[in-house]
Amino acid sequence: MCDDRAEEHGDTVNDHPILRLCAAAAALCLCAAASRAQTFEIIALPDTEDYADYYPSIFGEQTQWIVAHREAENIVFVTHVGDVVHHPLDSPSEWTTATDAMYQLDGLLPYGACAGNHDLEDPAGFIARFGASHYSAYGWYGGASGNGLNHFQVFSAGGYDFLHITLQKGPDTATRNWARAVIEQNPGKPTIISTHDYLDTSGRRTSAGESIWNSLVDDYPQVFMVLCGHNRGVSRLVSTDTNGRRVLQMMGNYQDYTTSGGETDNGYLRKILFDPDNGRISIQTYSPTFAAHPWLTGNDHEFSYDAAFLPPSPGTAASPIFLTDAATCRAAGHVQGFDTTPGPTGTALPLGWTAWQIDGSAGTFSAAHPLAAADTSPAPAPPARRCWSSTARPGRRGATGWPMSPATRAAPSPQTRETSPPPFSS
């Protein structure tokens, strides 16, 4: 089930503009290929300062698990949201713990690490270990900001080229301007920003988060997700930017999470699953080190959103991957979609007309361009709504409507799941 509960803290969600579907046959082939794309996964490592300081084996086991499962889970990228270490000046051996863990990814997976407030106690130490000199040999590494603390990466998955940007805690104007330039140099790439301080535990943006939102996220419709840590706990927020796109923002820092058995420091990480076939982005919380309760469930730890996975369109301003408001459609007993033959009312399009497109400002459908300029078939009259009955519209994504039910992963036995998550300790 799609869970939009976190939007109670968000901005007003308006009708959003949706990229125009290509009418050429080649574009339809791309769309069909995207529909067959394999589910892929990004791992978000929450703050590890306690592990670097007190429980080094947990840090190492997290990345060991990622490496061991990268193929079976189709892991394509790893991001660390900052505070890699705790007291780097007083305990420089923490840097060794951090590099022993993170460097296991070298040559196997693209990754990035944000500089958190604890890391910034020793910025030279962070740059020496997680700066451009360490990454420059890898083709996925894009470059660093002027102060050497912020980086960007480009990686491919599911037929898309993604842009990922790591930002230090509280990036200044120069750093934010650098990030703007990076985005503008990579137009149309679905973009994820990882930073250290962005949301608080109530799901509201912090002052640092507001600066990032106002100067980076809100201006660029290709940014569809922001990840952060810093505050101990979890929260999430869906906001609508000025371009009408819904942006998923998530905070997770599990170091103080206390299970029902009283255990803390359990090595939980975030698994972000992209499922183009079923139009879903799902989040799971898993610990490679805590056998008693490896999975956390409940709305704070396991949730998903309906998402569009449109054909890549390099050079355009907006991401082809973005959250949709299918929940609104479902509330009316309908489903939402973006391309179809037959059309959204179940009636076949006239010869030469290939797909429907959505006018985001009006929230109505119109027909895509004809395949051939010589084709004079009249355009069909667009229906007045954005949603349609799931029973009246057999489409390429299944006879029961779009999107189909998300694939169900194999669930651990009930006794291994923390089904009633207790609060974080203070």
* pLDDT at position 410: 32
Closest CA to 217 of 2, 11, 6, 4: 11
* pLDDT at position 326: 54
* pLDDT at position 308: 86
* pLDDT at position 37: 59
Q: Going from the N-terminus, what domains does the chain have, and what CATH number goes with each?
A: 1-36+325-404 (no CATH), 37-323 (3.60.21.10)
Closest CA to 81 of 40, 126, 112, 123: 112
The residue ranges of the chain whose pLDDT is under 70 are 1-37, 325-426
Q: Which helix (H) or strand (E) holds 418?
A: strand 417-418
Q: At what angle do helices 123-130 and 93-102 cross, to 10 degrees?
A: 30
How does DSSP classify residue 83? -
306 forms bridges with which residues in the sheet?
280
Backbone φ and ψ for 272, nearest 5 degrees, come out as -110, 110
Distance CA 93, CA 52 (A): 9
pTM over 0.85: no
Backbone φ and ψ for 142, nearest 5 degrees, come out as -95, -35
Distance CA 207, CA 295 (A): 32
Q: Which three-class secondary structure state does DSSP give residue 40? A: strand
* pLDDT at position 265: 77
| 43-82: pLDDT as tens digits | 999 999 999 999 999 999 999 999 999 999 999 999 999 9
| 194-207: pLDDT as tens digits | 999 999 999 999 99
Distance CA 363, CA 335 (A): 14
40 forms bridges with which residues in the sheet?
274
**Residue found by looking up tokens 């990622």 in the block:** 66
Rg value, the chain, Cα: 22
* pLDDT at position 279: 87
Q: Which residues contact 394 (CB under 8 A, 6 or more apart)?
A: 342, 346
* pLDDT at position 27: 36
**Rounded to a whole number, what is the distance in angstroms from the first to the last CA of the chain?**
31
Backbone φ and ψ for 216, nearest 5 degrees, come out as -125, -55
Distance CA 44, CA 227 (A): 8
How does DSSP classify residue 170? S
Closest CA to 112 of 87, 80, 88: 80
Residue 282 contacts residue 39 (beta carbons within 8 Å) = no
Hey, what's the torsion of the CAs at 385, 386, 392, 398, to 10 degrees?
Answer: 180
Distance CA 217, CA 194 (A): 12
